[in-house]
Every structure is written in structure tokens, then in C-alpha cells.
A = this chain, B = another copy of it.
Amino acid sequence: MKNLKDKVAVVFAASGEIAGAVARSFSQQGAKVYVTARNLDAVNELAREIKAGGGWAEAAKVDAMVEAEISDFLEKVVADNQRLDIVFNGIGADYNEMGGRPATTEATFEQFMAPIQKICGSQFLTSRAAARYMIQTHSEGTILLLTAALSRSKLSNVAGITAASVAIEGLTRVMATEWGKNGIKVICICPGAIMETKRISGWIEAAARQYGMPLEQLIAQYKSLDILKTSLTLKQVGETAAFLASETGVAFNSHIVDVDCGKLNIL
């Protein structure tokens, strides 16, 4: 039985690895999936792959930071389907793009605000637009946000991204509170570090170079906080997101869901 049969899902910032995995899982559970990003080539490739696997997908160029593009796109989706069931925004912050990881004494105001404006701001824009169309079409849908586990940690030189991550969690709770009366669920997933992503494997390689440590040692150090012997995979994040958006996932709402297979340092 497919959990998302006939559901209409839109994935923003779908060029990222997590969003790609989520889109694939939505499709595997039977949803029609619209995959969008600034990088049209990336989402075209993703859509092709989904269709090759027997799914329904359509790619579009949408900048998840630009309100008009988001709104126009959702309007078209709603015009075509008369409904909007699931929205996921996979926007992330790349340290390089954000000016590296400056010490907080050195970070400029703009460097500090950049991830908040980008990732928290984008989640605000896509969630708000999604809610408007879900309310308008009486779709009792699910809005899925994405945060990072550093919302619950104490790390150095990540002031902006940490502030953005917790801000997204606070935003999740307010939006769930407001839109629950319309039957809309709002959930935020918080994946642990996924070793197979380019971002995390890139960090580890960079850190290994920087500190002159063997790569295996650093990987072991990362994995030492994993409770299970196995580590979280992209596919598992996608499947969890698909479950949360399904009817059987209804018990989750306003939740910040740690998607991490258990971490020793995250309660």
C-alpha cells in the first residue's frame, strides 16, 4: 500500500541531497512530485530519475527565496490539481557560501544574518505560501520544514546557522498553532549529520587535511556519537519525511523530529 497515493507534493530547493532523497521517497509512496530549485538542470535530472523509476515528477525553476516565484508556482500546481498536500523545503546553508565559519567576534552582522535570512526566511516564505493554498483548496496537508541538529548543541563559530536552526523550530510551532484549525500539520525534521552527503563528507575531508588527521580516525570520531552501529542514510531521511506526511503520520504535528537513529549527544 502506498502511503501517499495521489497526493500532490512540492519540494523546494530540491537540488540538495536531502531534498532529493525526500522527493524520491514521496514518489515511491505514490505522490505526484514537483521538484523545484534555482538550478533547473539539477531538478530536471531528479525528475527524469523519478520518472524512470515509474513515478510522476515535474521540474521547475523556482527560487525558494523569492516570494513571487514561490507563489506563482504553487498557484499553477493548485490550478492543475485543485489541491496541495505536501510541501517540503530542503534549503540549507553552505558554510562557504555564508563566508566560512568566522569566530563570532569576527563575523559581520551580514554574515550572522545571512543564514537566518536565507534558510529561516525561505522556510517562512514557502510555508506561508503553502498554507495559503492549502487553506484555499481545503487541502488538509502537511508542511515539512528542515532544521539542523546544531539547534541542540554547543559548537563554536556557527552563530548564524545555529540561530537560523532554532528560529526555524520556533517558527514551526507558531505555524502549527495557527494552521491546525485548518487541518494543516506543520512538522520540522532535524536530521543528524549524514556521512554520505557531499556536505558532511566534504567537511570531514577538509578537517582531516586541516588537522593532519587520518580520514578514518575523523570518521570514527563522528560515528562515535551514533548509538546504532549503522549510520543514518539519505534514504532513511526521505522515508521518514514520507511517513510524516502520510495519514499514518498524523500523530506528529508541531514536532521537531530528530531523524538520527539515536545520537549520544542529542536528547
| Chain A residues with a Cβ under 8 A of chain B | 1, 67, 103-105, 107, 109, 112-113, 116-117, 120-121, 124-125, 127-128, 131-132, 135, 151-159, 162-171, 173-181, 183, 185, 226-230, 232, 236-237, 239-240, 243, 248-255, 258-265, 267
Q: State whether B255 touches A262 (Cβ < 8 A).
A: yes
List residues of chain B with CB within 8 A of the CB of A113. Answer: 116-117, 121
A106 to chain B, nearest CB (A): 9
Q: State whether B167 touches A164 (Cβ < 8 A).
A: yes
Q: State whether A162 touches B158 (Cβ < 8 A).
A: no
Q: State whether B264 touches A154 (Cβ < 8 A).
A: yes
List residues of chain B with CB within 8 A of the CB of A107. Answer: 128
Could you say which of B116, B135, B174 contacts A162, with CB atoms under 8 Å apart?
B174
List residues of chain B with CB within 8 A of the CB of A112. Answer: 121, 124
List residues of chain B with CB within 8 A of the CB of A157. Answer: 174, 178
- Contact residues of A: prevailing secondary structure: helix
Q: State whether A251 touches B255 (Cβ < 8 A).
A: no
| Assembly CA distance A79 to B169 (angstroms) | 42
| Assembly CA distance A162 to B267 (angstroms) | 14
List residues of chain B with CB within 8 A of the CB of A158. Answer: 174
Interchain residue pairs with CB less than 8 A apart (21): A104-B127, A104-B179, A105-B132, A109-B121, A109-B125, A113-B121, A116-B116, A116-B167, A154-B265, A157-B178, A162-B173, A163-B171, A164-B167, A166-B167, A166-B169, A173-B267, A177-B264, A228-B250, A232-B251, A251-B261, A265-B265
Evaluate whether A228 and B151 lie within 8 angstroms (CB atoms) in the complex, with A239-B248, A265-B265 already known: no
Could you say which of B164, B173, B236, B267 contacts A251, with CB atoms under 8 Å apart?
B236
List residues of chain B with CB within 8 A of the CB of A121. Answer: 109, 112-113
| Assembly CA distance A170 to B180 (angstroms) | 27
Known pairs A109-B124, A116-B167; list 18 more (Cβ under 8 Å): A105-B131, A105-B179, A113-B117, A152-B267, A154-B173, A157-B178, A159-B174, A162-B174, A163-B168, A166-B166, A176-B227, A180-B229, A181-B229, A183-B229, A183-B230, A251-B259, A251-B260, A265-B265
